[in-house]
Amino acid sequence: MSTGTAAQVGMPHSLSARLRAVSPAERTALLDRIASIVSTLSGEPAPGDRGELVPRFERLLAPADASAVWLALSVLEARLATAPEVRRTVRAIRLDGPGAAFGSRTAPLVTSWLGGFRHRPEVRVLRGAVLVDVDHTARAGLATGIQRVARETVRRWAAGHELRLVGWDSGYRHLRLLTPPECARALTGDGAPGPAGERDVVVVPWESTYLLPELSLERPRNERIAALAQFARCRTGVIGFDCVPMTTGETTAMGVSEAFATNLAAVRHMDRVSTISSAAAAEYRGWRTMLSSVGAGGPEISVEPLPGEVPGSTPDELDDARARLLVPGMPMVLCVGTHEPRKNHLALLHAAELLWREGLRFNLVLVGGRSWNDERFTRELAVAQARGRPVETVTTMSDSTLWAAYRLARCMVFPSLNEGFGLPVAEALSCGTPAVTSNFGSMAEIAADGGALLVDPRDDSSIAAGLRTVLTDDEAHRRLATAARARPRRTWEQYAHDVWDALAG
């Protein structure tokens, strides 16, 4: 029994037929986008005769090359195509040709992008450019460790290289150029956070470099990054912070591990990962080893350790921090990090209580915002404060106050269960302040250059013993402080240079 022709079984109209069915303004906008696709794929100016434009487009798409299809879909629809969309269109081209394949896809385009919006977004193909995706860093109000790394790194990249800073629309459908205020916020943290722009220039990278110096956890964003890495003919690179949601998923909130899995699904298709420590590299290499079971090789993985560089503090900054944080007659123990279970602050509170009951006098200052699953910590903190213990949390603190706090502290304690790097440890040691930190992973890696006392973070008594030593043994404290001041110095400038070479060089 014959299956009939495309027309007999109700297959979609051709692209030319679709173009004839829309308004003149919509037709002009679509033809402009088709011209952009033709010139990008051919490397030549698009035909001036509009009658030749669609046939030329169809000839270029006839081989059903997945990269060309991705470009065409992304430009026509003003949003980055996903891998399933590319595969579906490739199959349609092989069955019925590009005219029918794109004719069927132009109807939703006209409805959703052109006919339904007064503003027709400009679509710009960026070829041979370096795009740096700092969507979160440009918009978020919090300054996490990841955002600090992104800002310190990208600011130095921008000073030495020509970059295009990009973000996403609110639905994570398309890349867009950041506005000047957003660029300033991404690079310096200045200015109020704002929503994603909705009416900006849509950019489609092609034969360019795409760099991701922050963590993406949004499924729609990761689906489009994965397709970009596969089909945009771009060099792609990402800073790899850690695989905590996979290796210690029990310490994260519901859904975080699933969201992180979508990030790894995108990173799987990227060219290079620059990890922030050898411990982080071990996690990523373990994940990459698993990819062989699905026939994938995964990205190249390198190690570019973070620096611990901290600017100097002025006398006024030290005086302000002293008045704000110190309790007269008591040494200060400083802890920096969000109050999530992985940071192990419950164990720290218990260790501190053991020492207070011994009669040791010190105040404990925890700098960091609330995070997932911190209800137990909040309750135990309230209990300690009700007992009159000298402990407080500071949810927001300027960088200058933090640098001063490092210098004023007797020690910095960081008993985390898992860290990609442990930036507060490196920063405290850079200030010459001893650290009490975990005896494995990136924290032990940092401590290898001296200045830190290692403890077992899973043993409250071990944490208490480490704190007891630095609080009561002046000679041990002096040795640690001397070793901290003698550590080799690594600057943000060096780090940014090394990561650029690893990802874009």
What does residue 389 show for φ and ψ, rounded to 5 degrees?
A: -70, 140
pLDDT digits (tens, 9 = 90+) for 18-54: 777 778 888 888 899 999 999 999 999 999 888 899 9
pLDDT mean over 101-130: 66
Do 44 and 193 lie in one domain? The reply is: no
Domain-embedded: residue 327: yes
Amino acid 112: pLDDT: 44
Among 22-31, 86-95, 484-493, name the one with the lowest average pLDDT.
22-31
Do 383 and 239 lie in one domain? The reply is: no
| Model confidence at 3: pLDDT above 50 | no
Do 51 and 192 lie in one domain? The reply is: no
Do 398 and 467 lie in one domain? The reply is: yes
- pLDDT-derived band of residue 192, with 50, 70 and 90 as boundaries? low
What does residue 457 show for φ and ψ, rounded to 5 degrees?
A: -70, -15
| Model confidence at 111: pLDDT above 70 | no
Do 155 and 106 lie in one domain? The reply is: no
Helix, strand or coil, per DSSP, at residue 8: coil
Check: CB of residue 78 under 8 Å from CB of residue 110.
no
Domain-embedded: residue 2: no
Give the count of domains, the chain: 3
Write down which residue in 120, 150, 169 finishes a domain.
Answer: 120
pLDDT digits (tens, 9 = 90+) for 312-357: 999 999 999 999 999 999 999 999 998 989 999 999 999 999 999 9
Check: CB of residue 103 under 8 Å from CB of residue 13.
yes
Range of the domain at 181: 125-307+496-503
Do 390 and 250 lie in one domain? The reply is: no
**SS in 3 state form for 398-457?**
CHHHHHHHHHHCCEEEECCCCCCCCHHHHHHHHCCCCEEEECCHHHHHHHCCCCEEEECC
**Cα–Cα dist 47/494, whole Å:** 48
What does residue 17 show for φ and ψ, rounded to 5 degrees?
A: -65, -40
Amino acid 396: pLDDT: 84
**Cα–Cα dist 57/74, whole Å:** 14
Do 275 and 409 lie in one domain? The reply is: no
Do 376 and 227 lie in one domain? The reply is: no
Check: CB of residue 463 under 8 Å from CB of residue 413.
yes
Give the residue from 40, 82, 34, 73 showing the smallest Cα distance to 55.
Answer: 34
Do 243 and 337 lie in one domain? The reply is: no
Domain-embedded: residue 261: yes
- pLDDT-derived band of residue 193, with 50, 70 and 90 as boundaries? low
Write down which residue in 86, 120, 154 finishes a domain.
Answer: 120
Residue with tokens 């849509």: 202
Which of 109-123, 250-264, 278-292 has maximum average pLDDT? 278-292
**Cα–Cα dist 423/144, whole Å:** 11
Domain-embedded: residue 1: no
Laid out side by side, the sheet with 235-240 consists of 123-127, 202-206, 175-177, 164-168, 130-133, 209-212, 235-240, 272-275, 300-303
**Cα–Cα dist 22/304, whole Å:** 53
> In terms of DSSP H, where are the helices of 43-96?
50-61, 66-77, 83-96
CA distances from 128 to 1, 153, 505 (A): 52, 21, 14
Amino acid 199: pLDDT: 55
| Model confidence at 91: pLDDT above 50 | yes
- pLDDT-derived band of residue 196, with 50, 70 and 90 as boundaries? low
Domain-embedded: residue 319: yes
Do 319 and 448 lie in one domain? The reply is: yes
Domain-embedded: residue 6: no
| Model confidence at 116: pLDDT above 50 | no
- pLDDT-derived band of residue 108, with 50, 70 and 90 as boundaries? very low
| Model confidence at 484: pLDDT above 60 | yes
* Burial annotation 175-193 (CB, 10 A radius, 16+ → b, else e): bbbbeeebbebbbebeeee
Domain-embedded: residue 151: yes
CA 456 centroid distance within chain: 30
**Cα–Cα dist 368/46, whole Å:** 55
Write down which residue in 88, 120, 152 finishes a domain.
Answer: 120
- pLDDT-derived band of residue 6, with 50, 70 and 90 as boundaries? very low
| Model confidence at 106: pLDDT above 60 | no
| Model confidence at 9: pLDDT above 70 | no
**Cα–Cα dist 245/259, whole Å:** 9
Do 386 and 472 lie in one domain? The reply is: yes
Q: What is the CATH number of the domain that holds 250?
A: 3.40.50.2000
Question: Which amino acid makes up residue 440?
Answer: F
Do 136 and 280 lie in one domain? The reply is: yes
Residues contacting residue 207 through CB under 8 Å, at least 6 positions apart = 127, 128, 232, 233, 234
The two three-digit tokens of residue 375, written as one number: 């209800």
Check: CB of residue 103 under 8 Å from CB of residue 18.
yes
CA distances from 203 to 119, 127, 342, 371 (A): 16, 10, 38, 34
Domain-embedded: residue 41: yes
- 263 HSE (CA, 13 A, CB side): 26
Of residues 423 and 5, more confidently modeled = 423
Q: What pTM was estimated for this model as a whole? A: 0.90
Of the chain, the percentage scoring pLDDT greater than 70 comes to 91
